[in-house]
Structure 1
Amino acid sequence: MMQLCNGRAPRLPHPQPRLHCRRYLYRLDTPDTNQVGAPMNQRAIGVARYLRSASVLIATVISSLLLPSAPAAHAQEMGWWFGNATPSQGRMMRSPRYSVAKRGRESDDRERRQANKETAVPENKPTGPLFAILSISNQHISVYNSSGLVTRSKVSTGMPGHRTPTGIFSIIGRERYHSSNIYSGAPMPFMQRITWSGVAMHLGVVPGYPASHGCIRLPAGSAERMWGLTKIGERVVITPHEVAPSEFAHSLLPVPKLQPSPLTTADSAPRRTEVASAGDDHLPVASPKLLNPLEYAQALKARAAADMTAATKDLQDLGGQRKEAPPDAVRRALSDLRAAETARTQAEAKLAFRTEALATKRDAREIQRAQAAKVAAESQFAEATRKLEAAFDNPAFATPEGRAALVAERNLMALRSALAKAQATAKNAERRLSPISVLVSKKDNRVYVRQALAPVFEGPVTIRDRDTPLGTHVYIATSYTDGSSLGWTVVSYPTSRKRVDDTGSRRHREARADAASDSEGAPPNPAQALERIEFPVEVSALISERLWTGGSLIITDESLSDETSDVGTDLVVTMR
């Protein structure tokens, strides 16, 4: 068997009968282990090692004599070994697999930085009410205020089969550390909910394309920043394509009503009005200050808090004055009177609840049921009132002790009623601090009014030219100028053209397309839509009393979305 050796003697396995090495021209016979030729094997190995060392020395001498005069290219390939002044260039190696992924990430980072430079916006401080517009096709969300664009961020919306709904929404819930109750407790930091069916904005992976299960994913920095900017009640408009807001002014837009302060001003010096700079010089010095709806709600809340404090103190003082125990007959009469008073209070609260529930019903069957429930609540309230009046006529109150106990009880009832009224006023004032939302639906032919995510009013509305589309427009009060006038911004939802039949010849298709274009005409604009709406007088008064910055008016051809529940959601319009 023949084997070539690369500069070293061959390794001799045991046993190996014969081996020839052509490079060193020697022949080695290896006897079996039972023979006495082992010293010859060791001698042959020594000779091979000597010849190998001699050949390396000869090659070194020849290279030192010949290579310095060789061309530079050959010298560079030898590197530093033979004294060349130019460093050798290492052999190109194939990158491992993890380096390919790393290069991909670096490429994505470069593209992202370049995109951020291209979409950079001028500095705009996030003051005043904000609203957001999300473009699904561009996969980004833009936050605006009265001065324009505040910030913009890439997002990742719902993948096919889990599409993110489009339409007009609001932020209805916020949790800094939220865990999904649908997807096995998946963490969703900086969560801002826009529907109770599971759609929210939160921190997540943003690969640059729709990849979520319907939510709106935000990068870490953007999710944290938006959490600090936005608040509950602010509008979020989700559109299939990019739309931009624009400033809007019209004489038919609602105007806020200015009212005197609900606080008592007898002990304070009169102050003149400071709400309209153009007319201040013509107002008398003794005229009270008029408050815009937000200031009025703040003053109303302060007054309610003072009334609750006073009523609570009076109740404690009056309760401490009653030390002597009344006779048994008077005590039983007082017990019956208090039970009747409690029953009447409960019946009154139930009647108020049924009345509010009736205002929120839209289906004819639900309205009928709500009306029946309201009639029953009215009957219960009337019966409770009759029993209370009968309790006041108890014969036990005819005695001197009974008359004294009845007077004290009446005072307690008056104080308890004052406390309950102050608590209701405080609740109403707290609601009025939130922005108001108004929606006009051509499909429902109704107007809906909500505040603090709770219904306030619902009723019919007049819409002229019902056969002509209104479009979908949201008008947002984003600023105020002189304490009474509001600045408005409008966002018009993009209209979708009807699909034209593409069958038949080209000439027929073009004719059908021209006919469809002529029949559709120009898309409705926000001014035309507003001019066709006529609110009832009581609705206009209600809106004026509660409208201030952050309030919104929606005019749409669509119906009120099923995402709008009785309590805890704002007015929602979903587009299909």
Structure 2
Amino acid sequence: MNLRGWRRNRHIFAFASLAASVFISDLSAGPASAQGAFPFFDGEAAAPRMARHRRHRSNKDRIHRKAKAADAPLPNPGNAAGAVTPEPPLFLIVSIADQQVSIYNHAGLVARSMVSTGIAGHPTPRGVFTIIGRERYHRSNIYSGAPMPLMQRVTWSGIAMHVGVVPGHPASHGCIRLPAQFAARLWGMTKIGERVIISPRETGPVDFVHPALPTPKMVAPGPAETTVAAKTSAPLAAEPRLNPAQYAEQLRAKAVTEAAAAAKRAKEAAADVVSSKAEAAQAAKERDAAEAMNASALSRAEKATAFLEAARAGRDASLLVTARSGAVDGVRVGKAEAAAATYEKAEAAKDAAQAALADASARLEAAKGAFAARDAQLTDALKRLSDATAASQAAAIAETQARRRTMPVSVLISRKDRRIYVRQGLAPLFDAPVSLRDPEAPLGSHVYIATAATGDGTALQWSVVSLPPQAPEARSERKSRRAVDIDSGTSAQGPASGPAEALERVELPQDIRDRIAERLWLGASIIVSDLPLSGETGNVGTDITVKLR
């Protein structure tokens, strides 16, 4: 390549070199180099961007300066004395208006960073989401394979958090761009199942206590959890109780053991089938050989019988001729003796053929019996394999369900749908009708998150995040106002309920409360909203999602 060609493509080499260095060091480089290594994200076409950057060097420099500033840490209690450690469960709040993301846990603010959300025409959806997938080296399947490092997915329709240029204003195609250094830090803190709240403007969690919040159900340990000390303790000693997470872990461990045992039995049954098939095939081969041998012996016996009959006829004819002649004729006598000898040989041959046929028939019967036994053995092995496979599949499903039970439970109470939806482990558990006091009055949208256990470990501490109403200018293009504006939280019936009143207006049957209590522990979230369940919520692989209008 000549010098002119190198100059024309130098930005490509620079991108490849910087990207490789950042990935090899696992994004541990300084803020400036890490941020500058990812100039093309969210599907912006590479060629137009490169041409634009060649024409507008000053614009490129300005964006990179803002990118460096975005990667610098914002004022954060986590950087000062008495820092808040990123102890799970965590939840994230993205403010569209402020272009920033805040990470919280039970102790308060853990970290904060600038972000870049969707531009006009490709807005970032607002509402309540969940981290439903993570991929360290992801490429977009929508925008021509654009690189999206440290991707944490919140919808399957293409919205995620990932490394990208953060110029200080909305610039993406809907995703939430993160500075490289912060994205690497966030990657190490978060996990699938944690809540992401995307708000029109800044909002934050408030510690919340209310008797209407569900209480986790403590259960007695199973046999696997009963220790020797517990068995030998005094009869009046209180038996330790397990919280839902501990009980779920006990179920998971049991399910893993049972699934492994069932898989082993299925593997052994499959090996038995292979062995039985080989034995049955060999028995069939021996049966076929015995049938061929018996057919050959039968043919020889039939030929020997025919030859004997012919020899008998020849002998009898020769004797008759000799008797009729009445004279001694040496020639005739010789023929008679020869015919008699032939007959004796034919008789001996017939006896041998019959004996061989009897032996071949016995061998055939034995081979048929052996094949029938091997075939029955194969049939039994196939049945055992079928049963073992079904048991292994059932055990695998039970293991999957047990693993899901270790993840946080999610609940949505929707005024729009008049239903309660309950999910866990990115899969549905159940849904049911729900009654509301003053059903026409707006509830607002409130997210209650179980952030910590109380001192004795039998109850939960909660935080609540109330989504703010939508700004009036965001609704200016609507053709008409409905009687109830679920975005603004106002209606003809008055303003939306606060978090306490919203809970008090929900009337849940006791059996539903009990079913939730059995699975309720840290990271659980309860959403009370005017809004319906979003279409982003599918069967498996998604969590409860609520989108603001």
Instruction: Assess, with a 3 A threshold, how the Cα gap between structure 1 residues 287 and 100 changes in structure 2: closer, same or farther.
Output: closer
User: Could you tell me how far 1:483 is from its partner in structure 2?
Assistant: 1.5
Where does structure 1 lack aligned partners over 5 or more consecutive residues?
A: 1-96, 274-282, 343-412, 503-515
User: Could you tell me how far 1:254 is from its partner in structure 2?
Assistant: 1.1
Structure 1 match to 2:431: 458
Structure 2 match to 1:306: 257
> Are 2:526 and 1:575 aligned?
no
Structure 2 match to 1:190: 150
Tell me, what secondary structure is at the counterpart of 1:538? helix
Q: 2:95 aligns with which of 130, 135, 142?
A: 135
Tell me, what secondary structure is at the counterpart of 1:301? helix
Q: 2:459 aligns with which of 465, 469, 485?
A: 485
Alignment of 1:185-224 (within 5 A): 185-224=145-184
User: Could you tell me how far 1:303 is from its partner in structure 2?
Assistant: 2.1
Where does structure 2 lack aligned partners over 5 or more consecutive residues?
A: 1-55, 274-367, 477-488
Whole-Å separation in 1 of the counterparts to 2:384 and 2:261: 22
> Are 2:228 and 1:291 aligned?
no
Amino acid at match of 1:487: Q
Whole-Å separation in 2 of the counterparts to 1:157 and 1:331: 69
Whole-Å separation in 2 of the counterparts to 1:168 and 1:563: 11
* Contact map agreement 1:263 1:300 (CA 8 A) in 2: no
Whole-Å separation in 1 of the counterparts to 2:446 and 2:98: 21
Q: 1:232 aligns with which of 192, 204, 207?
A: 192
Structure 2 match to 1:165: 125
Greater relative CO, 1 or 2 (CA 8 Å, sep 6+): 2
User: Could you tell me how far 1:160 is from its partner in structure 2?
Assistant: 0.8
Whole-Å separation in 1 of the counterparts to 2:86 and 2:499: 26
Structure 2 match to 1:17: none
Tell me, what secondary structure is at the counterpart of 1:307? helix
Q: 1:539 aligns with which of 512, 528, 534?
A: 512
Amino acid at match of 1:466: P
Tell me, what secondary structure is at the counterpart of 2:84? coil
C-alpha RMSD over aligned residues: 4.0
User: Could you tell me how far 1:183 is from its partner in structure 2?
Assistant: 1.4
Amino acid at match of 2:408: P
Tell me, what secondary structure is at the counterpart of 1:259? coil
Whole-Å separation in 2 of the counterparts to 1:456 and 1:144: 27
User: Could you tell me how far 1:429 is from its partner in structure 2?
Assistant: 1.5
Whole-Å separation in 2 of the counterparts to 1:416 and 1:243: 52
State the TM-score, normalizing by the size of structure 1: 0.59
Whole-Å separation in 2 of the counterparts to 1:106 and 1:563: 37
> Are 2:232 and 1:259 aligned?
no
Structure 2 match to 1:79: none
User: Could you tell me how far 1:327 is from its partner in structure 2?
Assistant: 6.9
Alignment of 1:10-409 (within 5 A): 116=75, 123-264=83-224, 268-270=228-230, 285-309=236-260
Tell me, what secondary structure is at the counterpart of 1:227? helix
State the TM-score, normalizing by the size of structure 2: 0.62
Whole-Å separation in 1 of the counterparts to 2:214 and 2:232: 26
* Contact map agreement 1:293 1:545 (CA 8 A) in 2: yes
Whole-Å separation in 2 of the counterparts to 1:260 and 1:146: 27
Whole-Å separation in 2 of the counterparts to 1:435 and 1:185: 33
> Are 2:389 and 1:429 aligned?
no
Instruction: Assess, with a 3 A threshold, how the Cα gap between structure 1 residues 201 and 99 changes in structure 2: closer, same or farther.
Output: closer
Instruction: Assess, with a 3 A threshold, how the Cα gap between structure 1 residues 228 and 334 changes in structure 2: closer, same or farther.
Output: same
User: Could you tell me how far 1:416 is from its partner in structure 2?
Assistant: 6.9
Amino acid at match of 2:104: Y
* Contact map agreement 1:441 1:555 (CA 8 A) in 2: yes
Whole-Å separation in 2 of the counterparts to 1:205 and 1:107: 9
* Contact map agreement 1:272 1:288 (CA 8 A) in 2: no
Whole-Å separation in 2 of the counterparts to 1:119 and 1:558: 34
* Contact map agreement 1:144 1:151 (CA 8 A) in 2: yes
Whole-Å separation in 2 of the counterparts to 1:480 and 1:250: 15
Structure 2 match to 1:469: 442
What whole-Å deviation, never above 9, does each CA across 1:283-321 have from its counterpart, x for those lacking one? 964443211111111111222333345556778899999
Whole-Å separation in 2 of the counterparts to 1:573 and 1:422: 34
Amino acid at match of 1:465: D
Whole-Å separation in 2 of the counterparts to 1:257 and 1:226: 32
Amino acid at match of 2:539: D
User: Could you tell me how far 1:268 is from its partner in structure 2?
Assistant: 2.8
User: Could you tell me how far 1:105 is from its partner in structure 2?
Assistant: 6.7
Whole-Å separation in 1 of the counterparts to 2:232 and 2:499: 38
Amino acid at match of 1:216: I
Instruction: Assess, with a 3 A threshold, how the Cα gap between structure 1 residues 287 and 252 changes in structure 2: closer, same or farther.
Output: same
Whole-Å separation in 1 of the counterparts to 2:430 and 2:63: 56
What whole-Å deviation, never above 9, does each CA across 1:446-475 have from its counterpart, x for those lacking one? 111111111111221222211111111111
Instruction: Assess, with a 3 A threshold, how the Cα gap between structure 1 residues 258 and 517 changes in structure 2: closer, same or farther.
Output: closer
Whole-Å separation in 1 of the counterparts to 2:272 and 2:66: 82
User: Could you tell me how far 1:546 is from its partner in structure 2?
Assistant: 0.8
Instruction: Assess, with a 3 A threshold, how the Cα gap between structure 1 residues 492 and 539 changes in structure 2: closer, same or farther.
Output: same
Amino acid at match of 1:243: T
Whole-Å separation in 2 of the counterparts to 1:416 and 1:98: 65
Instruction: Assess, with a 3 A threshold, how the Cα gap between structure 1 residues 467 and 284 changes in structure 2: closer, same or farther.
Output: farther
Percent of pairs identical after alignment? 47
Instruction: Assess, with a 3 A threshold, how the Cα gap between structure 1 residues 101 and 567 changes in structure 2: closer, same or farther.
Output: closer
Whole-Å separation in 2 of the counterparts to 1:440 and 1:454: 17
Whole-Å separation in 2 of the counterparts to 1:104 and 1:461: 51
> Are 2:458 and 1:495 aligned?
no
